[in-house]
Structure 1
Amino acid sequence: MSRPPPSRSGALATPTITNADGEEQCPICKTLRYMNPTMVFLINTCYHPLCNNCVDRLFENGPNQCPYVNCHLTLRKRAFRTPTFADLTVEREVDIRRRVAAVFNKTEADFESLRDYNDYLDMVESLTMDLVYGDERAHRAADTKLRAWEDEHRAEIERNRRQGERAREQTKKHFAAEQKAAAARRAEVAKLEEEERREKARQREEDLDMLASAPQGMANKVLLKKRGQERAEAAAEREAAALRRAAAAASGEFTIKGLKKKPTATTASVADDTGPYAPFGNINLRPSRYVVQDRYKNEILDGLRSDSAQLAGGYSFAEYYSRALFEAFAGLAVFVADEKGLDSLREVATVEAGMAAADEPSVSLDGTADVRTKGGTTRGPAEDSEGDVQMADAVGPEPATTPMDVEAF
């Protein structure tokens, strides 16, 4: 465990480049950024910021002493660099931690127990805190210990450094391979989307041609049958794509990071033997076409909610809602004629009979049949003897049919 950082009073002072007015100013030549917008601040091993003009002027002829008061370090021009962080205290701490990590570069695999590895990490963190926040005495002792460790374990440090480089190189190659595989997958998806777009355009043209050449009154039936065939083909294509992905995973190709590996036949059988019991074989029985609400507006059910005689028997409103919705949605997108393979003549007769029964006769209170036509006229008992001829005349021309999109359900 690492100890809390001591007070910053013992840390090396890092001057700021902002004056009292909040403007960036060089501490040596007092040049404001307002006067020189291209001014760049540079730092050296002492972390004292200087503008690029001061660096060129003071260190043009070779090494020179740092111009800051009480700083006696000899600096070279080539050692100046642009800081990464605006806070030079953070910049200094990052550099120190990078230096310590280059010397203490052991990993958990180099220790026999986790306790030894944690003690090693605690020692490294304590030494780092002394270098960053310790006073002059603690800083000097930590620096001496760091140099002694580096001299004593030089060969081991070099060996760990090479191993770390190889590990980073392997990680870089793996990341590049993942990027390449992701690019290939994106290209394949784009290709599939383009093919799907073209297929939809082709199917639309085929639908229009079939509707134009379909018999009278069969346009809706032809369209529904065509869409059923398209759904069957799409389902077969999805199954084939799933099989291809499973085969690719089993052959050892690239996998997506973060996703579980698909089990093979042997691993799946073992998992089935050792896994928990699934009563429905992991089938999701949750309805996909509707969502059951907690309450619906219904006068009859609202009255039953306060009837203790009904509630005493364990009547469940949720079960009633589920059963009613299930029965309402059951059978949608299922075409019996397509599954039975009925001939075209019987299909035409069925459709025409359904269209002829659009206006059903209603029985009045006196027992007479009251047939209302689309024109609003009423047929009495005396007109029933005219037979089907007047019935066909009353029905009038064939109503315009609108294609029903079954997939919307």
Structure 2
Amino acid sequence: MPPVRNGIPNRGEEDEVCPVCKSSRYLNPSMRFLINPECYHKMCESCVDRIFSSGPANCPVAGCNKTLRKNRFRTQTFEDINVEREVDIRRRVMQILNRREEEFASKRAYDDFLEQREEIIMNLVTGIDVAKTEKDLQTYASENVASIRSNQALEREEASSFQEQQTFEKEQARLRRQAARQEYEDERREMLAGQEDVLRRLAAGKRDDAAAIAREGQKVLLKKSSARRSEEDRIRQKQAALRSSDAKKSGKAVTASQATGDTGLVKGLKKIKTPEPEKPYSPFAGFTTKRDYYTLRDFYPSSYLEPIRNDTRMQAGGFDLGEYYSRTLLEAFAGLGCFIGDEVSKRDPTSTLGISKPATEGAAMAAVSTSIANEETA
């Protein structure tokens, strides 16, 4: 079992000695080690400044020929370097494969996507088909730039919203504690004031009135406390209704990001339906407004309209005789383009003006039989 130093197990001198300059943390306690995500080889900060300050260079560790840059070096977060590497790979893959559940056609398709993403992560971590996996990731990233950026923006909005919600809840909790303290102080103050009032009335009253004064003081305190509790219940109900309405609005506000259908890497996405182009706006629902049967004039002689034409009170209200002329003539000539015979024949080819053929034959037979009966009677 490795020795323990300050509650942290010491993994030996390999973690305490720089592989480049062989400096030891034992001799230099302020030494700070850095790692680069390209190869995850640890080296001290002074070696990083000395080797990579002039520009990119090969890793100085024996057997590693990867080109490193100074701006990529950072402090190690986890003690185990394998965990550090897996976390970086997982973060990078999840930034690319950041599809959301609402983008998939079914829950099963989303679960298959999650399984596929974990398989890609494990291939990169364990070194299985690394070249092919990296190529697939790069191809997917280049083909789905818009959806990746959209989902990243949604994640940032959700994180910001969550942070704001946490801050709001903390503030509400602080206000509730403050209101509870204030309520306790008010109740205590009212109780003391009620007791003082009862004592003052007892001191100024008679001995026989003591029980009545005590009962009256108790009733006043109970009435105040019940009114305060009813007001608190009303405020709580109002706050609960506001929270539920906010939750419904936030749930409806979540929208799916831009999906482009199945890609070469991700399957089961919803198909995008291209909306039909909007038709030009028609205020009469597609009906023609051409005036083929009349010509609109600016003036029509009328004994009824002449007083209105010269009445400033009517004109001040926005009345326009031109609009009246146009509407009246349109209503008068609206039925000239409607031919009932053609419409009835389209609905029922065997009918003529709404009278079906069997009904016509029956009426003719009834008329003939009636005429015969009349002749026999005569």
Q: Which residue of 2 aligns with 1:227?
A: 218
Aligned pair 1:20/2:8, yes or no? no
> Which residue of structure 1 aligns with residue 183 of structure 2?
192
How far apart, in 2, do the equivalents of 1:52 and 1:190 lie? 54
User: How has the CA–CA distance of structure 1 residues 224 and 119 changed in structure 2, closer, same or farther, with 3 Å as cutoff?
Assistant: same
Counterpart selection for 2:40 from 47, 52, 75? 47
Contact map agreement 1:28 1:67 (CA 8 A) in 2: yes
What amino acid sits opposite 1:102 in the alignment?
A: Q
TM-score by length of 2: 0.54
- The SS at the match of 1:243 is helix
- What is the percent sequence identity of the aligned residues? 36
Gaps of 5+ in 2: 1-8, 249-378
Q: Which one of 159, 181, 185 corresponds to residue 168 of structure 1?
A: 159
Alpha-carbon offset, residue 245 of structure 1 = 2.7
**Counterpart-to-counterpart distance in 2, 1:231 and 1:255:** 36
Secondary structure at 2:74 match in 1 = coil
Contact 1:181 1:254 in 2 (8 A): no
Q: Which of 100, 103, 106 does residue 113 from structure 1 map onto?
A: 106
CA contact (8 A) 2:194 2:217 kept: no
Q: Measure, in 2, the Cα distance between the counterparts of 1:192 and 1:255.
A: 28
State the AA in 1 paired with 2:88. D
Among 88, 91, 95, the residue aligned to 1:102: 95
1:139 is aligned with what amino acid? Answer: V
Q: What code does the residue aligned with 1:41 have? A: F
Q: Is 1:36 matched with 2:28?
A: yes
Amino acid at match of 2:176: R
Q: Rate the CA distance shift 1:35–1:200 in 2: closer, same or farther, 3 A.
A: farther
| Distance verdict in 2 for CA 1:206–1:40, change over 3 Å | farther
Amino acid at match of 1:55: V
Alignment partners' CA distance in 2, 1:32 and 1:91? 22
**What are the superposed Cα offsets for residues 221-240 of structure 1, whole Å, 9 maximum, x if unpaired?**
75565334323321222122
Amino acid at match of 1:33: R
Alignment of 1:6-405 (within 5 A): 20=12, 24-44=16-36, 45-135=38-128, 138-210=129-201, 212-213=203-204, 215-216=206-207, 222-223=213-214, 226-250=217-241
Q: How many angstroms apart in 2 are the aligned matches of 1:80 and 1:64?
A: 13
* Structure with max Cα Rg: 2
1:286 aligned partner: none
Alpha carbons of structure 1 residues 255 and 179: separation in structure 2 relative to 1, 3 Å: farther
CA distance in 1: counterparts of 2:234 and 2:219, whole angstroms: 23
Cα separation, 2, equivalents of 1:101 and 1:23: 30
Give deviations 1:67-114, integer Å, cap 9, x for gaps. Answer: 211111111222111122222211111111111111111111111112
Q: Normalization by structure 1: what TM-score?
A: 0.51
Could you tell me whether the CA contact under 8 Å between 1:62 and 1:76 is conserved in 2?
yes
In 2, distance between residues paired with 1:176 and 1:107? 26
Deviations 1:221-273 (A, max 9, x none): 7556533432332122212221233244446798799xxxxxxxxxxxxxxxx
Distance in structure 1 (CA, Å) of the matches to 2:133 and 2:88: 15
Q: CA RMSD in A?
A: 3.3
| d(CA) in 2 for partners of 1:60, 1:230 | 79
8 Å CA contact 2:96–2:141 kept in 1: the answer is yes
